[in-house]
Chain A
Amino acid sequence: MNEQEHIDKLMLELRRGTITIGVLSQLSSPQYGYSLVTMLNEKGVPVEPGTLYPLLRRLEKQGLLESSWDTNEARPRKYYVLSEMGKAVYEQLCKEWEGIVRSLDDLIHTRKDEENGDD
Chain B
Amino acid sequence: MIERYIYAVTQKLPQNQRDDIAIELRGLIEDMIEERIGSGEASNQVVEEVLLELGSPREMANKYRGTKKYLIGPELYDPFLIVLKIVLISMSVGLGAVFVIQSIITPPEILDHFVKLIVALVTGLPQALGWVALMFVLVEYGGGLKTKDLGLDKAWSPAMLTAIPDPKRRIKRSEPIIAIIFYVIIMVWFAFSSDFFGIYVFNDNGFKEVVPFLNEEAFSMYMPFVLLFFATFIVKECLKLISGKWTMKLVGYTTVINILGIVVIFFLITGDSFWNPEFMNDLVQAGVVAEGSEGYQIGEAIWRNSTRITVAILLIGLVWDIIDGWIKARKK
A residues near B (Cβ < 8 Å) are 32-34, 38, 48-51, 53-54, 57-58, 75-78
- In the complex, identify which listed stretch (B60-68, B99-107, B272-280) lies at the interface while the others stay far away: B60-68
B residues near A (Cβ < 8 Å) are 17, 20-21, 23-28, 30-32, 35, 53-55, 59-60, 63-64, 66
A-B contact pairs, 28 of them (CB 8 A): A33-B24, A33-B28, A34-B27, A34-B28, A34-B31, A34-B32, A34-B35, A48-B53, A48-B54, A49-B28, A49-B32, A49-B53, A50-B55, A50-B59, A50-B63, A53-B24, A53-B63, A54-B63, A54-B66, A57-B17, A57-B21, A75-B26, A75-B27, A75-B30, A76-B23, A78-B20, A78-B24, A78-B27
B28–A53 contact, CB under 8 A? Answer: yes
A33–B63 contact, CB under 8 A? Answer: no
Query: Which residues in B have their C-beta under 8 angstroms from that of A58?
Result: 66
Query: Which residues in B have their C-beta under 8 angstroms from that of A57?
Result: 17, 21, 64
Chain B interface, DSSP helix/strand/loop, else mixed: helix
Query: Which residues in B have their C-beta under 8 angstroms from that of A33?
Result: 24, 27-28, 31
Query: Which residues in A have their C-beta under 8 angstroms from that of B59?
Result: 50
Query: Which residues in A have their C-beta under 8 angstroms from that of B60?
Result: 50
Would you list the 5 A-B pairs with minimal beta carbon distance, nearest first?
A: A34-B31, A54-B63, A54-B64, A50-B55, A75-B27
B25–A53 contact, CB under 8 A? Answer: yes
**Cα–Cα, bound, A32→B24 (Å):** 10
B34 to chain A, nearest CB (A): 9
Query: Which residues in A have their C-beta under 8 angstroms from that of B30?
Result: 75
**Cα–Cα, bound, A76→B55 (Å):** 23
Chain A interface, DSSP helix/strand/loop, else mixed: helix
**Cα–Cα, bound, A21→B28 (Å):** 22
B53–A32 contact, CB under 8 A? Answer: no
Query: Which residues in B have their C-beta under 8 angstroms from that of A54?
Result: 63-64, 66
Query: Which residues in A have their C-beta under 8 angstroms from that of B21?
Result: 57
Tell me which of A32, A51, A57, A76 has the highest count of chain B C-beta atoms within 10 A of its own C-beta: A57
A56 to chain B, nearest CB (A): 9
**Cα–Cα, bound, A34→B31 (Å):** 7
Query: Which residues in B have their C-beta under 8 angstroms from that of A50?
Result: 54-55, 59-60, 63
**Cα–Cα, bound, A58→B30 (Å):** 22
Q: A49-B32, A50-B54, A50-B59 are in contact. Are A32 and B27 (CB under 8 A)?
A: yes
B119 to chain A, nearest CB (A): 45
A101 to chain B, nearest CB (A): 27
Query: Which residues in B have their C-beta under 8 angstroms from that of A48?
Result: 53-55
Seed contacts A34-B35, A54-B66, A75-B30; 4 additional CB < 8 Å A-B pairs: A49-B53, A53-B63, A75-B26, A78-B20
Q: Which residue of A lies closest to B67 (CB)?
A: A58
Query: Which residues in B have their C-beta under 8 angstroms from that of A51?
Result: 63
**Cα–Cα, bound, A34→B24 (Å):** 10
**Cα–Cα, bound, A58→B67 (Å):** 10
Q: Which residue of A lies closest to B64 (CB)?
A: A54
**Cα–Cα, bound, A32→B28 (Å):** 9
**Cα–Cα, bound, A58→B21 (Å):** 12
